[in-house]
Each structure stands twice: as C-alpha cells, then as structure tokens.
Structure 1
Amino acid sequence: MQGTVRQLALAAFVLSPAAMAETESSQQIFWDNLTALCGSAFAGEMTGFSRPADDGWLDKDVVMHVRECNDQEIRIPLHVGNDRSRTWVLTRQDDALRLKHDHRHQDGSEDAVTWYGGHTTDDGRAWRQTFPVDAFSKALFLAQGLDASVGNFWSMEIRPGEQLFAYELVRSGRRFRAEFDLNRPVEPPPAPWGHDDATE
C-alpha cells in the first residue's frame, strides 16, 4: 500500500501546462503546484523552532494532508501526533492569496484563537508566497493577550525541483519552520477535528 501511495503522489506532482506558461503569474504557478498534490499526505519535521514554545512538537509525528481543493480554496490539515486541531486554509481572491488558520477542539468547536492569518501584498514568487498579518488577526491577538503575534508573517514554499513543501512563521524574536519531504508520501490521516467525517 505504501508503494502505491508513493507512486500516485509522485505521479500527481508535475507542473501543469498552465504553470509552465510564461504568462502565468507567480501566484498561479504556486497554486497549480500545490493543487497537483491534492489528496496526498506527507511527513515532515521542524527545521526552525523556539524553546520552550514549540517543545510540544519535538517528539511528535508531523503530517500535512492536502485534503480538499477546488478553484477557489485549498484545505491542508496539519496533524501533530494525535492532535488534529489545525487546518491551513488558502483562498484565492481577486489579486491576492489569503491564508487562514482554522483551529478546532476535539469536539469540533472553534478555538478562541482561530481564523487568523493574512493575505499576500504582491505576486510573490512561484515557489514562495508570504502572508503578512491582517487587521482582523491583529485585533484577535490583542483581545487574547497575544500582543507579540501582531507582527506575524507567514510563508509557504513549494519547490518541485527539490520535492519540498515548507510552512514558516516569523516575527521579531521568533522563527518557526516545518519542512515536508514530497518524496515521503504517507497514508492520509483521519479527518481534522470539526470536519463532517472526523471521528474520535
């Protein structure tokens, strides 16, 4: 089964004709390369972290699952051990990409700190898009006493030639980075908490 998953994932991860066209924007190429992974899950690890803030991740299996894709939205649950509370939600807007973080409790209810994120302010690069914190998220962070987070910048990278996907958070005094090896597809994990087909 593992071999079949690997073959299917690698076969899906190819540049589409649209992504190869010189007229395509960097955001379009990034989007096409990410949707080419839809349905696949990949193991990863932290390559940048802060202690003790990120200690809870250090001994856990980390898996991203490109679970749902359509023309306007991509949902990528992030599993940390048995914790299925996190989903990255990418949305296409008129001239930007938006990244939001959907955080849930095990019963499916929303966490007090959820739907934060930001949107791109330029076309970025075909292999990297950056999302500065938006006004909604700044207000949420301040209301929750998370003042340091109002300086957040999130980035996502997808590098076909290196078979790498990365998620990064940076702000003054903080850098978190997780990298996922696209040569290491794994069995898709259970649904994230709050999803209709999630189970205990």
Structure 2
Amino acid sequence: MKSIIPVLAAAGLLAGCATTPAPVDTRDQFMATLQGMCGQRFEGALAYAIDPNSEFAGKKISTQVVCTAEGVRMPVQVGEDRSRTWIFTRPPAGLELRHDHRHADGTPDAVTMYGGMAQAGGTARAQSFLADAYTARIVPGAETNVWTVSLSEDGTVLTYRLERHAKPRAEFVMRRVPG
C-alpha cells in the first residue's frame, strides 16, 4: 500500500499540470485583433489636443488596416497629408509600435520610426506603448510618451491616444466605415 500512495500522488500532480491552461499573452491577442481587421477603414477626427491650434484640428483623419507578413500597417491620412503610418509588429522582445513618417516623394522624414514596446497589462483590444531610448533621442520631450491604441468591444471605434509626462496630449477617435 505504501508504494501505491507516491504513485497516486505523482499521477494527481501530473493530472493537475495537464489541466492548467497556458498563460495568455495579451500581446498575441492584440495582434490577432488587428489582423482580424485587415482591409477595414476607419474615419474620424481629433477628439482632444493639448494645443487647440494643432495641425490635426478640423481635419478628417482616416486609416485602413493593412496586414503584411511582418505585422500590421495603418497608413494615416490627415486631411490631404498621407505622410504617416503606424506599424505594429511582434518581435521576440514583445509588441512594438512605430511611427513611420515620409515625405511626399517617399523618403524618410528626419523624425521617423519612433515609438516603443507595449507595457504589461494590455488586453486583446487595447495596448499602451512606452517611448524607447531612440524616441527620446529624436523627439525632444518625448521620453515619457505613452501611446495607447484601442478598439471598442464591437470593433467599430478605433482610438489612438498620446500622453506625455502622464498628461493627455492628443486623441484621435475613428469609426469603422461600412463596406
């Protein structure tokens, strides 16, 4: 009887391990959410800006979700300006957001590819990205930037929010365009 007890205990431990679900990585879930939006268009406007004379004020803002082998790209149009693209990738180090800025001829702007990695605590529908050292070097004052990108539960509203020094700086709210 003594030899059966350790075997039963070990079997119980193994059975417990087999039923324990693997931890869920919300960064993977967020990328899956974005990839599920491929081809969708969103239009909206600046909902908030610390500067009322912002270059975005009074202009239509739109984007379309474009999926690639490397990740998800969201070209952003502000009025007639098509110089911006948000790029989401899933490198081994985590979930990354980059802001690609280009001139009309396609050449990179001096201030481009800034952004950072997602911080812990995001969800399948919202992630916050902390400015990295590269961003702090090329964008004066941006060392504390946090960009939060979120999608409403019903998938119809995309929100992009920028905070700097723990204060709201700008927010775009865009609604999905049917079709």
TM-score (norm 1): 0.71
How much does 1:133 deviate? 0.4
How much does 1:123 deviate? 4.9
Aligned to 2:32: 32
Alpha-carbon distance change, 53 to 112 in structure 1, aligned in 2, over 3 angstroms:
farther
CA distances 1:112-162 after superposition (whole Å, capped 9, x unpaired)? 100100001325222210111001111122xxxx2x222111111022326
Aligned to 1:115: 113
Alpha-carbon distance change, 123 to 69 in structure 1, aligned in 2, over 3 angstroms:
farther
Alpha-carbon distance change, 85 to 185 in structure 1, aligned in 2, over 3 angstroms:
farther
Aligned to 2:128: 130
Instruction: Give 3-state SS (helix, strand or coil) of 2:154's partner.
Output: helix
Aligned to 1:57: 56
Matches within 5 A, 1:11-26: 24-26=24-26
Alpha-carbon distance change, 35 to 81 in structure 1, aligned in 2, over 3 angstroms:
same
Aligned residue among 152, 155, 165 for 2:158? 165
CA distances 1:75-119 after superposition (whole Å, capped 9, x unpaired)? 100000110000001110225100000000101111110010000
Distance 2:121 2:50 in 1: 30
Structure 1: gaps (5+ residues): 1-20, 187-200
Residue 130 of structure 1 contacts residue 154 of structure 1 at CA under 8 Å; is this kept in 2? yes
CA distances 1:59-81 after superposition (whole Å, capped 9, x unpaired)? 211101112333x4111000001
Aligned to 1:155: 148
Structure 2: gaps (5+ residues): 1-20
Residue 46 of structure 2 contacts residue 58 of structure 2 at CA under 8 Å; is this kept in 1? no
Count of aligned pairs: 158
Matches within 5 A, 1:73-152: 73-141=71-139, 146=140, 148-152=141-145
Alpha-carbon distance change, 151 to 23 in structure 1, aligned in 2, over 3 angstroms:
closer
Instruction: Give 3-state SS (helix, strand or coil) of 1:27's partner.
Output: helix
Alpha-carbon distance change, 131 to 107 in structure 1, aligned in 2, over 3 angstroms:
same
Aligned to 1:18: none
Alpha-carbon distance change, 163 to 52 in structure 1, aligned in 2, over 3 angstroms:
closer
Larger radius of gyration, structure 1 or 2? 2
Aligned to 2:10: none
Which structure carries more relative contact order (alpha carbon 8 Å, separation 6+)? 1
TM-score (norm 2): 0.79
